[in-house]
């Protein structure tokens, strides 16, 4: 048997219903805030992600599905949505439109990660990008919209962590300062942290061993090193979230796995998710559009995992789709009349299914009951139809032409 590739999954009809509801919430919440939907190609030039996401990130270094298109060009299945949306913004000259340009997407993404619950190699994200505004209100709006979406979806145990990364220069200076601090306290750090001081000093904040934790209590914090403009921006974002009643935890150690962030970064987590607890996150990326050869353009956005949001939400009670009419065949000869009847019912706006499996009449009635049909039209070969009300069991003889109206009236 050929199975779906490791880390991928099929969306079966029962799962599709929940995903459709999530999509409708996203459409409503983001649409009401002026976001228009965008769909970019599933694959892009590899260079877009190398330059847009960052050569040094895990995503670009080891998680991309990259292939040659047969004509010597390197293409990559999109691992994230921000760089493609920015590419589209530049390519279509959207900087000439009134700013900010607000776009949202619901698309699939691909990362060659080790699969586990909540972590797949093909997954879906809802994302929103507000491009062309540096105002702190934009950051706060993006965060509030994701909070509203998580709320509408019913995600449980959600908390929001917030921080600011300042500018790339501030960050570089700060990394040096942190490295020096860690080197000065090397003897008390765990081996793991000690070995990675120069590659990834920020990881020391996540360490759980006592020695490292003690050292990190007095470590310099990036938030204390922000330039005045960045600090004021962060203060305003916090104040707006406070006014909106969105609870935040300021986490000076919050780092995100993509290089393009400046100033605000945030992450929503759900405590019901276990190891893969991130449901969605994002931040400001004021340098990205320019980095991709566009005009200098401030922007911010979020991306949230569809599967994680659904895992974080309570399973709804199974609700069967309604079937108004099941067309049963007393004899196979009635098939063409039955076919016509089911089509007429659907054209009149009813949901209608026709017997397609050659069951006995008894078997057909049992099947109609199982799928929750309200009425069954039993078509006999002489052209007459008896319409059975499945809740009362009552049955009446009708002309075929009158069946649809009878069901509609009920
Ligand atoms: P990121 O683009 O890494 O910031 O991810 C944003 C959100 O997408 C995360 O919070 C997750 O909800 C979701 N996500 C990221 N990677 C995966 C994955 N491999 N499988 C499922 N969901 C993912």
Indicate the DSSP class of residue 113: P
Fold assignment, 13-166+226-312 = BirA Bifunctional Protein; domain 2 (3.30.930)
What's the average model confidence in pLDDT over 75-83? 97
pLDDT at 56: 76
84 within 8 A of 108, measured Cβ to Cβ: no
Nearest to 330 by CA among 370, 371, 365, 373: 365
Q: pTM score, two decimals? A: 0.90
Cite the DSSP H helix spans in 33-66. 46-52, 58-62
Predicted confidence at residue 257, as pLDDT, reads: 60
Euclidean distance between CA atoms 393 and 407, whole angstroms: 14
Reply yes or no on whether the pLDDT at 321 is more than 80. no
Our answer on whether the CB atom of 59 is closer than 6 Å to any ligand 1 atom is no
Distance 350 CA to ligand 1 centre (A): 40
pLDDT at residue number 202: 82
Strand ranges (E), 36-93: 36-37, 43-45, 66-68, 74-77
CA 405 to chain centre: 42
Dihedral sign computed on CA atoms, order 218, 222, 227, 232: negative
| CA–centroid distance, residue 97 to ligand 1 (Å) | 30
Distance, CA 135 to ligand 1 centroid (Å)?
Answer: 26
User: Which atom of ligand 1 lies nearest, measured to the CA of 119?
Assistant: 20
Cα(29)–Cα(146) distance, integer angstroms: 9
Q: What is the reported pLDDT for 276?
A: 86
Say what the pLDDT of residue 383 is: 78
How many whole angstroms from 47 Cα to the centroid of ligand 1?
21
Mean local confidence (pLDDT), 160-181: 92
Residue nearest to atom 10 of ligand 1 (CA): 280
- How far, in Å, from the CA of 71 to the mean position of ligand 1? 32
Distance spanning both ends of the chain, measured CA to CA: 47
The pLDDT tens digits for 98-153 are: 999 999 999 999 999 999 999 999 999 999 999 999 999 999 999 999 999 999 99
Count other C-beta atoms under 10 Å from residue 235's C-beta: 13
| Enclosing H/E stretch for 154 | none
What is the reported pLDDT for 196?
Answer: 85
Q: Calculate the alpha carbon distances from 396 to 114, 152, 270, 399, 406 in Å.
A: 60, 45, 55, 10, 10
Atom of ligand 1 nearest to the CA of 115: 19
User: Which distant-in-sequence residues (6+ apart) come within 8 Å of 3 by Cβ?
Assistant: none
Tell me, in angstroms, the distance from the centre of ligand 1 to residue 125's CA.
7
Q: What value does the mean pLDDT take over residues 45-65?
A: 91
Which pLDDT value is given to residue 1?
Answer: 96
pLDDT of residue 163: 95
Q: Is 109 in the pocket of ligand 1 (CB under 6 A)?
A: no
For residue 30 the two structure tokens come to 């983001």
Does 304 sit in the ligand 1 pocket, CB within 6 Å? yes
Residue 319 banded pLDDT, cuts 50, 70, 90:
low
Mean pLDDT value across residues 56-60: 84
Strands 36-37 and 101-110: parallel
Pocket test for ligand 1, best of 158, 308, 309, 310 (most atoms within 8 A of CB): 308
Q: 301: closest CA among 270, 260, 353, 341?
A: 260
Using the mean position of ligand 1's atoms as its centre, give its distance from the Cα of residue 189 in Å: 30
- Pick from 105, 123, 268 the residue to mutate for probing ligand 1's pocket: most ligand atoms within 8 Å of its CB: 123
Q: Is 307 in the pocket of ligand 1 (CB under 6 A)?
A: yes
Mean pLDDT on 273-294? 94
**Ligand 1: residue whose CA is nearest its atom 9:** 280
Q: Is the CB of 308 under 6 A from ligand 1?
A: yes
Residue nearest to atom 4 of ligand 1 (CA): 281
Distance 273 CA to ligand 1 centre (A): 13
Which of 60, 81, 125 to probe ligand 1 with, by most ligand atoms within 8 A of CB?
Answer: 125
The per-residue pLDDT for 224 is 93
% of the chain exceeding 70 in pLDDT: 98
Instruction: Give the distance (Å) from ligand 1 centre to CA of residue 12.
Output: 21
DSSP state for residue 237 in the 8-state scheme: H
Q: What angle do CA 394, 398, 403 make, to 5 degrees?
A: 90
Ordered strands of the 249-250 beta sheet: 36-37, 101-110, 122-131, 299-305, 278-284, 262-270, 158-164, 249-250
CA distances from 236 to 112, 233, 240 (A): 38, 5, 6
Q: The domain 323-409 is classified under which CATH number: 3.40.50.720, 3.40.50.800, 3.40.50.1100, 3.40.50.2000?
A: 3.40.50.800
Model confidence band, residue 370 (pLDDT cutoffs 50, 70, 90) = very high
pLDDT digits (tens, 9 = 90+) for 224-254: 999 999 999 999 999 999 999 999 999 988 8
Hey, where are the domains in the chain?
13-166+226-312, 323-409
Encode pLDDT of 180-229 as tens digits.
999 999 999 999 889 889 888 887 888 889 999 999 999 999 999 999 99
Residue 320: the pLDDT is 66
pLDDT score of 43 = 98
Ligand 1: atom nearest CA of 280 is: 10
How far, in Å, from the CA of 300 to the mean position of ligand 1?
17
Q: Are 83 and 288 in contact, with CB atoms under 8 Å apart?
A: yes
pLDDT in tens, 9-42: 999 998 999 999 999 999 999 999 999 999 999 9
What pLDDT, on a 0 to 100 scale, did the predictor assign at position 77? Answer: 98
């Amino acid at each position: 048997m050929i199975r779906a590739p490791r880390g991928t999954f099929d969306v079966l009809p029962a799962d599709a219903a929940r995903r459709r509801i999530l999509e409708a919430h996203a459409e409503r919440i983001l649409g009401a805030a002026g976001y228009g939907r965008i769909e970019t190609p599933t694959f892009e030039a590899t260079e877009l992600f190398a330059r847009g996401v960052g050569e040094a990130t895990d995503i670009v270094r080891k998680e991309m599905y990259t292939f040659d298109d047969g004509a010597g060009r390197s293409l990559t299945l999109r691992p994230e949505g921000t760089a493609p949306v920015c590419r589209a913004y530049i390519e279509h000259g959207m900087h000439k439109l009134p700013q900010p340009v607000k776009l949202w997407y619901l698309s699939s993404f691909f990362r060659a990660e080790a699969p586990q619950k909540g972590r797949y190699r093909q997954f879906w994200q809802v994302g929103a990008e507000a491009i062309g505004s540096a105002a702190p209100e934009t950051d706060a709006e993006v965060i509030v919209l994701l909070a509203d979406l998580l709320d509408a979806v019913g995600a449980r145990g959600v908390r929001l962590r917030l921080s600011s990364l300042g500018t790339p220069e501030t960050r570089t200076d700060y990394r040096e300062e942190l490295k020096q601090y860690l080197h000065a306290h090397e003897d008390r750090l765990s081996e793991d942290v000690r070995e990675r001081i120069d590659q990834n000093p920020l990881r020391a904040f996540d360490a759980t061993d006592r020695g490292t934790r003690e050292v990190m209590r007095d470590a310099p914090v990036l938030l204390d090193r922000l330039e005045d403009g960045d600090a004021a921006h962060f203060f305003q974002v916090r104040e707006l979230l406070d006014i909106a009643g969105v609870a935040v935890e300021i986490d000076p150690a919050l780092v995100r796995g993509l290089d393009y962030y400046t100033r605000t970064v945030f992450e929503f987590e759900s405590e019901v998710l276990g190891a893969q607890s991130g449901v969605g996150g994002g931040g400001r990326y004021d340098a990205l559009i320019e980095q991709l050869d566009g005009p200098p353009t401030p922007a911010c956005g979020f991306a949230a995992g569809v599967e994680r949001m659904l895992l974080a939400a309570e399973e709804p009670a199974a609700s069967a789709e309604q079937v108004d009419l099941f067309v049963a065949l007393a004899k196979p000869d009635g098939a063409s009349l039955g076919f016509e009847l089911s089509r007429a019912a659907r054209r009149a706006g009813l949901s209608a299914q026709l017997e397609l499996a050659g069951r006995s009449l008894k078997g057909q009635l049992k099947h109609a009951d199982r799928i929750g049909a309200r009425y069954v039209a039993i078509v006999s070969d002489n052209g007459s139809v008896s319409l059975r009300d499945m809740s009362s069991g009552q049955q009446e003889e009708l002309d075929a032409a009158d069946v649809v109206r009878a069901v509609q009236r009920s």
